[in-house]
Structure 1
Amino acid sequence: MSAEPTPPNDTYSYLGPAGTFTEAALAQVPEAAGKHWRSVNNVGEALDDVVAGRSTAAMIAIENSIEGGVSATQDALATIPDLRIVGEYLVRVNFVLVARPGTTLADVKVVNAHPVAYAQTHLWLDRNLPSHGHIPATSNVAAAASLLDPSTISGAGMADAAVAPPGIVGHYDLDVLATDIGDNSNAVTRFVLVSRTVAVPERTGSDKTSIIAELPDDTAGRLLEMLEQFATRGVNLSLIESRPIGDELGRYRFVIDLDGHIRDERVAEALLGLKRFSPNVIFLGSYPRADKLSIEVTNRYADDSFLEARQWLDGLIG
């Protein structure tokens, strides 16, 4: 008798296999505890699970404190409709260098590593393995797992070691050659939990709103006009990155995170102004901040100030 398929509302997708930083982020989601976690190979597959209804949500990396925004995630959120960010989670990132049992650091000539992990460890690698070569991997765990693949162990040019997450030896029979090889001990990756379009949650006082917007044309000053929609209403931007739209050279969309909730008067006013200005605005969600920091604004940008100004105008019209 075949096993019954796991219901979509009991399934969460994440970039696998087991042991990745993405899995560590998903472990922070209370609603995912005890549910089925579906390991996928890339961001596109994770979001396709959500759109197709195979999963209730997907955990994906969106920003790193060292490398900036994750372009694959930003582009996917810009082009796949009906998605909503429902939460963000932070994972401190560090790495170990692992190898097959019996390998020493002096034996390492080629290192397997995910490109982002390699970028965050290349100073250590250059200093300790100055002549090493690099083979890109699809994930940090896949880099480690490849060392034990029988088809590659004896292959010419295959890796002797891999950059992997701490704790990898709990999943694979590997030796740790070095720990804490990250070039920045404060490195953090920000993950977001993405679901289908849902009702916007209530404000917490410690919220973030994510949007994507395009400029109407490339006339001088257009970017300034867009930024003024936020500045004149006291809305702080915690992230702004440009990504090519792809239809022609010189056309870009902007991925923006702003402090506050769509139900905050200042945020709502800014988004209304942006909608009048931009030919395409994508609302990705308002959700609690991972750091729980309260958003402080001056009195003139508080909700009461906007409401009083509107009442004053209504009085003039009345």
Structure 2
Amino acid sequence: MLGYFGPAGTFTHQALRTVTDAPAQPFGSVQAVLDAVRAGEIEAGLVPIENSVEGGVTATLDNLASGDPLVIVSEVLLPVSFVLGVRPGTTLDQVRAVITHPHAHAQTRDWVVANLPGAVVTEGGSTAGAAEEVARPDSRFDAAICAAVAADLYHLDVIASDIADNADAVTRFVLVRRPGSLPEPTGADKTTLVAYMHADRAGALLEILQQFAMRGVNLTRIESRPTKKAFGDYCFSIDAEGHIGEPRMRGTLKGLHRVCRTVTFLGSYPRADGISPKIAHGFTAAEYQAAEDWIDTVMGRTR
């Protein structure tokens, strides 16, 4: 059984349906999904991790970084399109109170200001939860900013479509399970990890970044997150091009293990966009192997 950040009708649910039609259980929060995976209640869970407009989803980043180990085994990219859903009979000029998820509000703020200048937007829950709330006859909210699938699920009228400020917005989702065998390298992979500094000092982040740069590993995302242990104590959530099975990524992780207080490995998995990294001269697997062969030859000559 799979799980996802629900309820039914969320973008996460929509993303899950692009990869499987298998039965899946919705959960009310990202933490609830990940806790269910850790407890063995579900085999794997799909949660949002990054948005092209708003950046990382902090609930996912922080919950993956703490607690019992979990690994990402695949990712899904989903173009995000929002609608304004209302109870039947409601018109645009009657909308005074709107409810939606914080990320949805952030991605539609300009549209709301331009088209609903007198409306108050309340953030909370999920976009599908917002649609469900507005569908209640006694709801204090007049409209929900949600996915079209949620408006349809809860029988709301769509009085405005494609209301996102950025028509090219994309949300990235990851399928997470308990540690086990990793997906095989495909040549177009991504590795996710969290690096913890030994101490907050000048050059500490540079020391971490050098482990990637000196091996020709490109980063696709890096975000600082508080460790929640002390004020000013931060860790770094990182996505990098490559797979732990490749020599350059394996060397990078070994280097990080030497210079960091802790490294949390969160998986190596295929990129959803299928883009292969541009590997500079000297960093291919063949060149790493040639270097190892040369060292073996030199050592044999000096015995």
Q: TM-score normalised by the shorter chain: which range applies?
A: over 0.9
* 3-state DSSP of counterpart to 1:281: strand
Deviations 1:198-242 (A, max 9, x none): 112211111111111111111211111110000010000000001
TM superposition shift of 1:174 = 1.4
Amino acid at match of 1:294: S
Say how many residue pairs are matched.
Answer: 300
Q: Do structure 1's residue 285 and structure 2's residue 272 form an aligned pair? A: no
Query: Which residue in the other structure is 1:8 paired with?
Result: none
How much has 1:46 moved relative to structure 2? 0.3
Distance in 2, matches of 1:247 and 1:205, equals 38
Question: What is the CA deviation profile of residues 234-278 of structure 1, one whole-angstrom value per residue up to 9, with x for unaligned ones?
Answer: 000000001000111111111000001111111111111111001
**What's the counterpart of residue 138 of structure 1?**
125
What's the counterpart of residue 15 of structure 2?
25
Q: Deviations over 1:91-149 (max 9, x none)?
A: 11010001111111000111111111011001000001112111223000111111122
Counterpart of 1:122 in structure 2 is 109
Partner of 2:81: 94
* Aligned equivalent of 1:72: 59
Amino acid at match of 1:185: A
Distance of 1:200 and 1:76 partners within structure 2:
20
**In the alignment, does 2:200 pair up with 1:218?**
yes
- In structure 2, C-alpha distance between the alignment counterparts of 1:264 and 1:183, rounded to whole Å: 40
The CA deviation string for residues 31-63 of structure 1, in whole angstroms up to 9 with x for no partner, is xx3x32101100111011111111000000000
Percent of pairs identical after alignment?
Answer: 46
Quote how far apart the aligned CAs of 1:164 are. Answer: 0.9
State the partner residue of 1:189: 171
One-letter amino acid matched to 2:29? N
Assess if the C-alpha contact under 8 Å between 2:2 and 2:44 holds in 1: yes
The answer to whether the aligner puts 1:313 opposite 2:295 as a matched pair is: yes
Deviation at 1:29, TM superposition (A): 2.5
Which stretch of the first structure deviates more once superposed, 21-30 or 40-49? 21-30
TM-score, length basis structure 1: 0.92
SS in 1 for 2:148: coil
Give the corresponding residue for 1:3: none
Q: Bigger shift: 128-137 or 252-261?
A: 128-137
After TM superposition, give the deviation of residue 310 of structure 1 in Å: 2.3
Conserved? CA contact 2:31–2:63, under 8 Å: yes
Which amino acid counterpart does residue 7 of structure 2 have in structure 1? Answer: P
Aligned residue in 2 for 1:48: 35
Aligned-partner residue type, residue 65 of structure 2: A
Gaps in structure 2 of 5+ consecutive residues: none
Q: Which amino acid aligns with 1:111?
A: V
CA-based RMSD of the aligned residues comes to 1.2
